[in-house]
Structure 1
Amino acid sequence: MLLGMEQTLGFLAAAVLVTLSPGPDNLMVLSLGMAKGRRHGVAFGLGCALGCLSHTVLAALGIGALLAASPLAFAALRIAGGAYLIWLGWQAWRSHGSRMRAAPRHTVRESTGKLFAKGLLANAINPKVVLFFLAFLPQFVISQHGQLAWQTAQLGLLFTAQAAIVFGLLGYFSGHAGRWLNTSPQRGMLLDRLAGSLFVLLGLKLILLP
């Protein structure tokens, strides 16, 4: 069973906003693109995006296993995930905007393959991303449709695809995007506020509306 159109569009809108919100991954993509060039920024960004595939597998298998084994365990995960999303939202609201810090141009140039591998590994082993996927993806799973693990896997693949597009574009247009953020910290702050509000709403929904 494929995801419904309304389910897909709602998830993509939230996922793109989350991906665009200034954070370690996209700020690194921008700074690498500004410092080393477009190809290097794109390579690192695609690596970061594809690192989400490992989290997709963990989320699909973990959520399915918890549902099958213990409704109580899944309820605990739901509450913990909701609290984590609210905490992320609070952190985003406390942000004062983000500025780029590009490395100097004379640094040693790494190959695009190495930067892709670095981005892939950095995302794949990040425990915060694991927690985020476990908290974020279930928001858009419709239990009445069944096949919850398959729905989760599709959502994770959608998130990975949009992240690859967004990070790839950020890397390619890194110079313009970096200058756009640098000239006005309020722009980064606005993205943080929007993403923070989304995190809080989703966290409350996860806790209060199982």
Structure 2
Amino acid sequence: MTPESLFVYVGLCVLLAISPGPDNIFVLLQSALHGYRTGFLIVLGLCTGLLFHTFIVTVGIAGLIAASDTAFTLLKLLGAAYLLYLAWGAFGAKPVKMASGAKDTTAAPVLSGRQFYRRGIFMSMSNPKVSLFFLAFLPQFTNPATGSIKFQLILLSALFILSAFMVFCGIVIFSGYFGQLLKKSDRAQIILNRFTALVFVGLAARLAFSTK
């Protein structure tokens, strides 16, 4: 890629990562509720899940998913069911209290760090539209004359993941600070938990009724 096309590609990646979607909304809300550490673990999980989409696009599986209505429907329903599961957990979540006199401004999350990391991975992997997006978006920036298409796809995916990681980390920092204020109000936490559940239900419905 020329420096100009690389600049355009990375700029598009950043814009796509910023635009509202299930992943960045998930990062925003969970960071606000559980603090910086949880937010960064979820971001790492989401980026790990993007490696899965890179793999299936590179080996051509995403093309099969795009061609099969049954496979696409099963995957999107699986993703919608997972979002509904997250909605149920958020709706019944209890307020998190800080220990008296504690210096650490992030309260311990209900789940372990490993569980939040896995949640991020599954959140990304269970959305077939990410693979279809990679399949439609990445090849537009490849050039068979310059070398292996598979290598170029891997490189482009790596740049996309790096761009998404930086954007998501920015979201974590912003919402993590906002979340510190929420720790002082049980009512505010309950309202945000209920709002989170409503958002997840909406995202589940959007995914379930989405088309290719």
Query: Residues 45 and 122 from structure 1, CA distance in 2 versus in 1: closer, same or farther, beyond 3 angstroms?
Result: same
CA shift for structure 1 position 177: 7.6
One-letter code aligned to 1:59: V
One-letter code aligned to 1:130: S
C-alpha distance in structure 2 between counterparts of 1:106 and 1:50, whole Å: 28
Q: 2:4 maps to what in 1?
A: 6
C-alpha distance in structure 2 between counterparts of 1:62 and 1:177, whole Å: 42
**What secondary structure does 1:173 align onto?**
helix
How many residues align? The count is: 146
In structure 2, the gaps of 5 or more residues are 68-89, 98-108, 182-212
Deviations 1:5-35 (A, max 9, x none): 2332221100000000011100010000111
In structure 1, the gaps of 5 or more residues are 67-72, 78-100, 180-210
Q: 2:199 maps to what in 1?
A: none
C-alpha distance in structure 1 between counterparts of 2:60 and 2:35, whole Å: 39
Contact 1:42-1:170 at 8 Å conserved across structures: no
Query: Residues 153 and 111 from structure 1, CA distance in 2 versus in 1: closer, same or farther, beyond 3 angstroms?
Result: same
Q: 1:106 maps to what in 2?
A: 96
Contact 1:42-1:169 at 8 Å conserved across structures: no
Contact 1:39-1:172 at 8 Å conserved across structures: no
Q: 2:206 maps to what in 1?
A: none
C-alpha distance in structure 2 between counterparts of 1:134 and 1:104, whole Å: 41
CA shift for structure 1 position 162: 1.5
Larger radius of gyration: 2
C-alpha distance in structure 1 between counterparts of 2:178 and 2:13, whole Å: 19
Instruction: Provide the identity percentage.
Output: 37
Query: Residues 151 and 52 from structure 1, CA distance in 2 versus in 1: closer, same or farther, beyond 3 angstroms?
Result: same
Contact 2:32-2:178 at 8 Å conserved across structures: no
C-alpha distance in structure 1 between counterparts of 2:2 and 2:111, whole Å: 42
Q: 2:170 maps to what in 1?
A: 169
One-letter code aligned to 1:14: L
Where does 1:28-177 land on structure 2 (aligned, <5 Å)? Answer: 28-62=26-60, 105-106=95-96, 109-175=110-176
The normalised TM-score by structure 2 is: 0.59
One-letter code aligned to 1:106: V
Query: Residues 123 and 145 from structure 1, CA distance in 2 versus in 1: closer, same or farther, beyond 3 angstroms?
Result: same
One-letter code aligned to 1:35: L
Where does 1:173-184 land on structure 2 (aligned, <5 Å)? Answer: 173-175=174-176
